């Protein structure tokens, strides 16, 4: 169904008439004049005249510069009916277009769980709706019997933007560049991949890093590599190396404005106000072995908005088509304001919930090392209030989607036997049950001050997350209120992000809020590892998970065995057991379900977006038309008539 909310709208024609491309203008300078008086001396008059002359020159230069910038933006203006505008995916001027950079804030490179397939491409795409993996530059992949070598065949139609063929040499060169130049990608994946070698022009072997037992360190992370890493041109990498004299640091920070890429869009224009990518009409993906056509819009554009409010205003005015921002009470945009705005779901939670913002307990703190304390806080927390106020209904409730280690998608929850978890569930706001649990554990208030003690110390904790993260701040206030209801003193603490990050990653906190892995090919394992992996607790600075240093030998044994399992029954038993441990021990607990990428679409110019109710696009994940398998949405867009 197209224009799904058009029947709810009374006056939208005026919005649809906004067909002029947005241009970021520059303000003009204004000059001031000096009024001479009869009393001024000749020298003062001369100084004033000189100052006026200098000021006029400065003003003229400023106006010229502003005019040049405006003209430059005018040159980059693109037809509105050929351009899809985005918000919420880039927040500053582009640093570079370099996949090896540690500072690549580029809209086409930055990832949020899935590779962004607009400029560079990965070998395969992951679809978080059903867990399927689809070939992109790659055609097929298979493992040998012991999962130590993955063989990948490549699409023979694929080629780069300069017309050169994509083949095995490029896959090998991409890996070697990340390793030889010490990129963040190389540092991450060298733990799981030993080497990549060409078998023939269109076949490569990815050799897994082996442990002491001769097994692959983690086959799931090898599979993540083929869906996450952008493939680069061997010939172009040599050009970049030559112009930087082979210096690794310089190569990693090369801007690559002239990048050779395989994807459907390339760098067209970039300023501090706007970024535009233009379609490559010679894109290989229009071959029958891939999409069979070009994506519909010729241009993808992103204005650099100063904040969420500015991006939301642009969406409401029809200046943004695809918005990746949290919008409080998003449904009011069409129900009350009558705007042609649509979302993945017509009703709450409106988006596709893929992540689980989580409350982490520091199990090395007095009292928080006790299951009864951790579970009591979780039981007493009012999750309905979190859903209604912090998330304005844009989340599933835990009654709708019971707790486990999986996110609320069929792709992951197929591996959970919920019948075995029924007696372990807690839906929240159970103050009586939480108090009874603490009383039974002998954790009581002995001095009458209203606060329970353990080992002679009051149960008093700080709950923290970054300041300004309003929905998270509200969530922790609700958890603090739950603590007061059960005799646990929880106060909120909202430091600047950098300070919070330091606390979280060094286990210098009591209770912290952070999101583990979202939806990716190894997402279920990675999230489970984030809850339990003891290796993470040993890290001096830890971004991987297990921030509260919870140790459970059984859970770690299960995690170590999962990457080698081939039977769905074995996987279901393993993840169900991990879920049981998680609900029994409560080392952390999810506060809400949340989209990995928010996606509100304006149907003032374009329509036929990915939507659960649209039979044509319901198999395309609503990842803002750019991420993973979500890029297929660009091939289905239609102009509003």
pLDDT at 420 over 80: yes
- Residue 179 forms part of a structural domain: yes
Q: Residue 146 CB: number of other CB atoms within 10 A?
A: 13
Report if residue 450 sits inside a domain: yes
Name the pLDDT band for 76 (thresholds 50, 70, 90): confident
- Of 212, 233, 252, the residue at which a domain comes to its end is 252
Co-location of 245 and 358 in the same domain: no
For the cut 60, the answer to whether the pLDDT of residue 627 exceeds it is: yes
Residues 223 and 370 in one domain: no
Quote the number of domains for the chain: 2
- Per-residue pLDDT tens over the stretch 279-332: 999 999 999 999 999 999 999 999 999 888 999 999 999 999 999 999 999 999
If asked whether residues 225 and 372 sit together in one domain, one would say no
SS3 per-residue string spanning 159-228: ECCCCCECCHHHHHHHHHHHHHCCCHHHHHHCCCEEEEEEEECCEEEEEECECCCCCECCHHHHHHHHHH
Which residues on neighbouring strands pair with residue 359, listed in sequence order? Answer: 513, 589
Is residue 17, in this structure, part of any structural domain at all? no
* Residues near 576 by beta carbon (within 8 Å), at least 6 away in sequence: 404, 415, 416, 417, 420, 421
Could you tell me which of 152, 134, 155 has the C-alpha nearest to residue 143? 152
Residue 325, classed as helix, strand or coil, is coil
The model's pLDDT over 14-61, given as tens digits with 9 standing for 90+, comes to 333 333 333 233 333 333 333 333 333 333 333 333 444 444 444 444
H/E segment holding residue 268: strand 265-270
For residue range 336-367, list pLDDT tens digits in order. Answer: 999 999 999 999 999 999 999 999 999 999 99
The 3-state DSSP class for residue 307 equals coil
Note every long-range contact of 421-427, with CB atoms under 8 Å and residues 24 or more positions apart, other chains counting: 421/576, 421/579, 421/580, 421/583, 424/580, 424/583, 424/584, 425/398, 425/583, 426/375, 426/378, 426/379, 426/398, 426/583, 427/383, 427/397, 427/398, 427/399
At 62 the pLDDT is: 42
Whether 64 shows a pLDDT value over 80: the answer reads no
Residue 74 has what pLDDT?
Answer: 58
The predicted model scores a pTM of 0.84
For position 179, what pLDDT does the model report? 97
Element (H, E) at 469: none
State whether 361 and 508 are in the same domain.
yes
Per-residue pLDDT tens digits for 433-478: 999 999 999 999 999 999 999 999 999 999 999 998 888 999 999 9
* Shared domain check, 539 and 413: yes
Cα angle, residue 159 at apex, residues 155 and 164 outer, rounded to 5°: 135
The domain that holds 421 is classified in CATH as: 3.10.105.10
Tokens of 148: 């130590």
Give me the CATH number covering residue 243.
3.90.76.10
Q: Residue 65: how many CB atoms within 10 A of its CB?
A: 12
Residue 594 β-bridge partners: 355
Determine the pLDDT at residue 520: 86
pLDDT at 106: 86
Structural domain includes residue 360: yes
Which conformational region is residue 14 in: left (phi greater than 0), alpha (psi within -120 to 50 degrees), or beta? Answer: alpha
Do 415 and 532 lie in a common domain?
yes
Is the pLDDT assigned to residue 71 strictly greater than 50? no
For residue 70, the model assigns a pLDDT of 38
Q: For position 26, what pLDDT does the model report? A: 30
End-to-end CA distance of the chain: 15
Last residue of a domain, one of 226, 252, 278: 252
- Sequence-distant (≥ 6) Cβ neighbours of residue 417 within 8 angstroms: 572, 573, 576
Residues 237 and 379 placed together within one structural domain of the fold:
no
pLDDT band of residue 589 (cuts 50, 70, 90) is: very high
In a domain, 271, yes or no: no
Say if 404 falls within a structural domain. yes
Q: How far apart are CA 266 and CA 263, in angstroms?
A: 7
Residue with tokens 């603090």: 480
Q: Checking DSSP bridges between strand 460-464 and strand 511-514, what pairing results, if any?
A: parallel
* Burial class of residue 347 (count of CB atoms within 10 Å of its CB; 0-12, 13-18, 19+): exposed
Question: In degrees, to the nearest 5, what angle opens at C-alpha 628 toward C-alphas 627 and 633?
Answer: 70
Looking up tokens 């409401």 gives 316
Same-domain status, 447 and 580: yes
d(CA 576, CA 597): 27
Whether 226 is covered by a domain: the verdict is yes
Residue 459 lies in a domain: yes
| Domain identity same for 233 and 362 | no
The helix/strand/coil state of 557 is helix
Question: Residue 150 sits in which domain range?
Answer: 124-252
User: What does the alpha-carbon distance between residue 364 and residue 561 come to, in Å, rounded to a whole number?
Assistant: 27
Share in percent of the chain as helix, strand, coil (round to 5): 35, 15, 50
- Do 517 and 401 lie in one domain? The reply is yes
Q: Report which secondary-structure segment, H or E, holds 274.
A: strand 274-279
Q: Which of 222, 252, 282 is the last residue of a domain?
A: 252
Q: Enter the tokens of residue 183.
A: 């990129």
Q: Could you tell me which residues come within 8 angstroms of residue 63 by beta carbon, excluding any fewer than 6 positions away?
A: 28, 29
Retrieve residue 71's tokens. Answer: 């003209």
Do 358 and 237 share a structural domain?
no
Query: What is the pLDDT of the chain when averaged over all its residues?
Result: 89
How many other β-carbons are positioned within 10 Å of the β-carbon of residue 294? 17
């Amino acid at each position: 169904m197209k224009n799904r909310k058009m029947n709810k709208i009374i006056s939208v024609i005026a919005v649809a008439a906004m067909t002029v491309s947005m241009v970021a203008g520059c303000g003009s300078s204004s000059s001031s004049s000096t009024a001479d008086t009869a009393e001024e001396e000749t020298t003062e008059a001369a100084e004033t005249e000189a100052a006026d002359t200098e000021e006029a020159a400065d003003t003229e230069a400023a106006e010229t510069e502003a005019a040049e910038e405006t003209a430059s933006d005018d040159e980059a203006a693109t037809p509105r009916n050929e351009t899809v505008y985005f918000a919420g995916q880039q927040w500053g001027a582009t640093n570079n277009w370099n996949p090896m950079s540690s500072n690549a804030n580029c809209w086409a490179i930055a990832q949020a769980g899935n590779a962004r397939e607009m400029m560079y491409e990965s070998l395969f795409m992951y679809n978080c709706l059903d867990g399927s993996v689809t070939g992109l530059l790659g055609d097929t992949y298979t493992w040998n019997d012991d999962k130590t070598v993955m063989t990948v065949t490549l699409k023979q139609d694929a080629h780069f933007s300069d017309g050169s063929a994509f083949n095995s040499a490029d896959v090998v060169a991409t890996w070697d560049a990340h390793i030889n130049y010490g990129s963040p990608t190389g540092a991450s994946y060298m733990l799981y991949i030993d080497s990549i070698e060409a078998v023939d022009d269109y076949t490569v072997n990815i050799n897994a890093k082996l442990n002491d037992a001769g097994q692959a360190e983690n086959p799931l992370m090898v599979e993540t590599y083929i869906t996450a890493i952008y493939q680069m041109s061997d010939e172009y990498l040599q050009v970049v190396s030559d112009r930087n004299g082979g210096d690794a640091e310089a190569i990693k920070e090369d801007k690559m404005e002239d990048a050779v890429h395989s994807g459907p869009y390339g760098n067209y224009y970039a300023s501090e106000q706007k970024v535009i990518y233009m379609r490559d009409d010679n894109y290989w993906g229009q071959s029958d072995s891939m999409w069979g056509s070009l994506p519909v819009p010729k241009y993808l554009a992103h204005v650099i908005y100063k904040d969420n409010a500015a991006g939301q205003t642009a969406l409401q005015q029809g200046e943004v088509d695809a918005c990746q921002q949290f919008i409080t009470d998003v449904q009011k945009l069409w129900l009350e304001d009558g705007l042609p705005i649509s979302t993945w779901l017509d009703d709450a939670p409106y988006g596709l919930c893929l992540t689980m913002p989580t409350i982490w307990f520091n199990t090395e703190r007095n009292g928080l090392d006790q299951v009864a304390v951790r579970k009591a806080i979780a039981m007493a927390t009012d999750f309905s209030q979190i859903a209604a106020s912090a998330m304005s209904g844009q989340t599933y409730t835990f009654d709708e989607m019971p707790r486990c280690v999986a996110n609320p998608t069929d792709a992951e929850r197929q591996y959970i036997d919920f019948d075995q978890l029924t007696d372990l569930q807690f839906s929240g706001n159970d103050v009586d049950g939480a108090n009874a649990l603490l009383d039974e554990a002998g954790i009581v208030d002995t001095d009458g001050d209203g606060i329970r003690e353990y080992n002679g110390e009051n149960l008093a904790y700080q709950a923290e997350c970054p300041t300004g993260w309003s929905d998270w701040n509200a969530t922790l206030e609700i958890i603090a209120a739950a603590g007061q209801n059960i005799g646990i003193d929880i106060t909120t603490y909202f430091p600047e992000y950098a300070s919070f990050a330091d606390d979280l990653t060094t286990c210098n906190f009591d209770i912290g809020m952070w999101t583990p892995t979202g939806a990716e090919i190894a997402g279920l394992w990675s999230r489970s590892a984030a809850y339990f992996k003891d290796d993470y607790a040993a890290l001096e600075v830890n971004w991987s998970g297990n921030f509260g240093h919870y140790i459970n030998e059984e859970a770690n044994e299960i995690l170590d065995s999962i990457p080698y399992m081939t039977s769905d029954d074995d996987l279901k038993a393993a993840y169900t057991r991990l879920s049981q441990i998680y609900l029994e021990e409560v080392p952390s607990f999810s506060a809400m379900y949340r989209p990995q990428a928010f996606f509100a679409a304006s149907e003032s110019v374009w329509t036929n977006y990915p939507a659960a109710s649209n039979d044509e696009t319901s198999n395309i994940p609503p990842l803002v038309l750019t991420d993973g398998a979500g890029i297929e949405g660009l091939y289905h867009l239609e102009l509003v008539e």
